[in-house]
Amino acid sequence: MRSRPLPTFPSTAPSALGDEQLRANLRKATTTIRRKRASVVQELPDWEELRARARAIKEGAMAELDRHLLKLEESVTAAGGVVHWAADAAEATRLVGDLVSAAGAREVVKVKSITTDEVGLNEALAARGIAAVETDLAELIIQLAGESSSHFLVPAIHKNRSQIRDLFREHLGPPDLSDEPGDLAEAARLHLRQRFLKAQVAVSGANFAVAETGTVGVVESEGNGRMCLTLPRVLITLMGIEKVLPRLGDLEVFLQLLPRSATGERMNPYTSLWTGVTPGDGPQEFHLILLDNGRTRVLADPVGRQALHCIRCSACLNICPVYERVGGHAYHAPYPGPIGSILMPQLLGPGVHDSLPFASTLCGACAEVCPVGIEIPRVLLHLRARASQGRVKGGGGVPGSGGKEEIRERERALPSAAPSAPLLERCLFRVGGWLLRRPRAYRWALRLGRRLQPALAEKGWIPRLPGMGSGWTLGRDLPALPEESFQEWWEREGCGRAASPTGDGSGGEGNRGARGGPGRKGGPP
């Protein structure tokens, strides 16, 4: 699917981690949004019921996706719109290009849309000599900077005001522009107003599309969305097939969940809902492109398909301890953060983005804030298993992604011990599992470790592990084994005597039940 491998998360995260400015920007932004979100979420007494309802609606929509899409096509057509279908990015961009050309335009104004980023629309249009003008302030900033988005909602979260002022001075003028956010926004307003007034064609994404009535919705703040959806003669909307909602009555649920989860507002400034073409009001030609681009692949996975329920609120990004420290660019994907880590590997298939499900601490905060109840940690584990199975089998059974070569490529890029890692890793896990089931052997291993560790430990910490363990200590110190383990303390205090000792557990015991009494099971000291 892709000719060259994408950089892996472990290879890009260190430089992001080392960027003090980036980390300060991210910390400030994510903490602010988290606080706002929490305060407006607790205002609603039925938040959990809304989440449950949203999840049920999305599950229902996915279960009969074919029927809902056909109904949507019928409704949009009846309302005066035209529906197109695009199986992949190439078809989607070709369709948009053809429609723009048919309208006789050389320039389109764009509403912020991650889906158009996903298919590389701007680049594809540029190749046909069509200029795509981003009109969302943050999208404009990163378009001028020639960068890519690092967050769903505030794509320029990684840039500060003086960096933005410099960009605007260079591209928009005036040369004495200040770095006050109000002045910067005004400069963008002036720059874009004329473009809005003369634009013939607009391109947008969609937050929802209602099968029952053909109503399509865009949620925004600045009014650039309304400009694009109202002023041009032709409107082209590109939406993923998973955005369909069965009934008009479903909208209220998402209109309550999305703004509060996203920007921490009771309602975003503007929500536009349009149904086909309205004579004398707004665009007189409306095209809706339904995009697959890997979504049916996601749908085929009973565990992973819930990633399609995502409404792109970015609450999971803002709460994620990993995202907060590395930002969106480290993920090298249009959808970053926890949701990106479960969506991207599925959209593109095994072999690509396999490192993303590992870019998580599995703390579960993302699942707790997700307004549609996606069990992100569960899907992360599912995809980790898939990635490691693919690796053990040497990439066998990876459909159509050139995954095998890519896995080899990636392993070459890892530290030197890595090529043998899968085997060693498996041995280690097997030995670890064996020890954890045998308390006596476990304690013996602990004593051995304690005897060996003075060579490595400094003041209670191990700053560097040898061999393949070195990767573990690249970014963190390992706590040294303590002088006395919890088990030993337990025994010294005489607490364990009442319980009968078990000796070597005979397999299959796992970590269930406290058959040996508390403290008898092996556990981390």
* Residue list 16-55, contact with another protein (CB under 8 A): 25, 28-29, 32-33, 45-46, 49-50, 52-53
* Distance in Å, CB of 116 to another protein, minimum: 18
- Which 460-519 residues touch another protein, going by CB under 8 A? none
From the list 14-22, 153-161, 482-490, 507-515, the region that binds another protein by CB under 8 A is 153-161
Instruction: Name which position in 133, 164, 462, 481 contacts another protein (CB under 8 A).
Output: 164
- Which 75-94 residues touch another protein, going by CB under 8 A? 79-80, 84-87, 91
Backbone angles phi, psi at 461, to 5 degrees: -130, 150
Of the two residues 280 and 513, which places its CB atom closer to another protein in the complex?
A: 280
Of the two residues 22 and 480, which places its CB atom closer to another protein in the complex?
A: 22
Residues binding another protein: number (CB under 8 A): 97
Query: Which region, left, alpha or beta, applies to residue 78 given φ > 0 means left and ψ of -120 to 50 means alpha?
Result: alpha
Per DSSP bridges, beta strands 478-479 and 270-275 are unpaired
Instruction: Name which position in 115, 135, 207, 485 contacts another protein (CB under 8 A).
Output: 135
The candidate with the shortest Cα–Cα distance to 350, out of 374, 384, 377, 373, is 384
Of the two residues 214 and 519, which places its CB atom closer to another protein in the complex?
A: 214
Of the two residues 157 and 352, which places its CB atom closer to another protein in the complex?
A: 157
For the chain, the residue count is 525
Of the two residues 222 and 354, which places its CB atom closer to another protein in the complex?
A: 222
* Distance in Å, CB of 284 to another protein, minimum: 12
Instruction: Name which position in 185, 428, 431, 452 contacts another protein (CB under 8 A).
Output: 185
Angle at 164 (CA atoms; ends 162, 168), nearest 5 degrees: 115
* Distance in Å, CB of 225 to another protein, minimum: 9
Question: What is the enclosing helix (H) or strand (E) of 293?
Answer: none
Of the two residues 270 and 358, which places its CB atom closer to another protein in the complex?
A: 270
* Distance in Å, CB of 17 to another protein, minimum: 21
Q: What is the spatial distance between Cα 165 and Cα 305, in angstroms, rounded to a whole number?
A: 42
- Amino acid type, 472: W
Q: What is the spatial distance between Cα 339 and Cα 45, in angstroms, rounded to a whole number?
A: 26
Angle at 213 (CA atoms; ends 211, 216), nearest 5 degrees: 75
* Distance in Å, CB of 300 to another protein, minimum: 4
Taking residues 409 to 448 in sequence order and writing x for each that binds another protein by CB under 8 A, - otherwise, the string is: ----------------------------------------
* Distance in Å, CB of 342 to another protein, minimum: 16
Of the two residues 62 and 333, which places its CB atom closer to another protein in the complex?
A: 62
Question: What is the enclosing helix (H) or strand (E) of 211?
Answer: none
Instruction: Name which position in 97, 276, 390, 516 contacts another protein (CB under 8 A).
Output: 276
Q: What is the spatial distance between Cα 101 and Cα 191, in angstroms, rounded to a whole number?
A: 25
From residue 521, how far is each of 75, 428, 468, 484 by CA, in Å? 62, 19, 28, 16
* Distance in Å, CB of 387 to another protein, minimum: 20
Instruction: Name which position in 12, 204, 207, 275 contacts another protein (CB under 8 A).
Output: 275
Answer for the pair 25, 326: CB distance below 8 angstroms, yes or no. Answer: no
- Which 210-249 residues touch another protein, going by CB under 8 A? 213-215, 221-224, 226-227, 229-231, 241, 248-249
Of the two residues 54 and 446, which places its CB atom closer to another protein in the complex?
A: 54
DSSP-assigned beta bridge partners for residue 135? none
DSSP secondary structure letter of residue 133: E
Q: What is the spatial distance between Cα 429 and Cα 423, in angstroms, rounded to a whole number?
A: 10
* Distance in Å, CB of 419 to another protein, minimum: 35
From the list 280-288, 320-328, 335-343, 511-519, the region that binds another protein by CB under 8 A is 280-288
* Distance in Å, CB of 303 to another protein, minimum: 9
Which residues are within 8 A (CB) of 7 and not within 5 positions of it... i.e. 6 or more apart?
332
- Amino acid type, 313: C
Of the two residues 275 and 341, which places its CB atom closer to another protein in the complex?
A: 275
Answer for the pair 444, 431: CB distance below 8 angstroms, yes or no. Answer: no
Taking residues 281 to 300 in sequence order and writing x for each that binds another protein by CB under 8 A, - otherwise, the string is: xx-------x-x---xx-xx
* Distance in Å, CB of 15 to another protein, minimum: 22
* Distance in Å, CB of 203 to another protein, minimum: 16
SS3 label, residue 362: coil
Q: Report the half-sphere exposure of 270 (CA within 13 A, side-chain side).
A: 15
- Amino acid type, 400: G
Q: Dihedral sign, CA of 194, 195, 196, 198?
A: positive
* Distance in Å, CB of 297 to another protein, minimum: 8
From the list 178-186, 357-365, 475-483, 485-493, the region that binds another protein by CB under 8 A is 178-186
Which residues are within 8 A (CB) of 486 and not within 5 positions of it... i.e. 6 or more apart?
519, 523, 525
From residue 525, how far is each of 143, 501, 517 by CA, in Å? 52, 18, 16
**Is residue 107 involved in binding another protein (CB under 8 A)?**
no
Token pair for residue 126?
A: 């540029």
Q: What is the spatial distance between Cα 258 and Cα 255, in angstroms, rounded to a whole number?
A: 6
Of the two residues 49 and 123, which places its CB atom closer to another protein in the complex?
A: 49
* Distance in Å, CB of 173 to another protein, minimum: 18
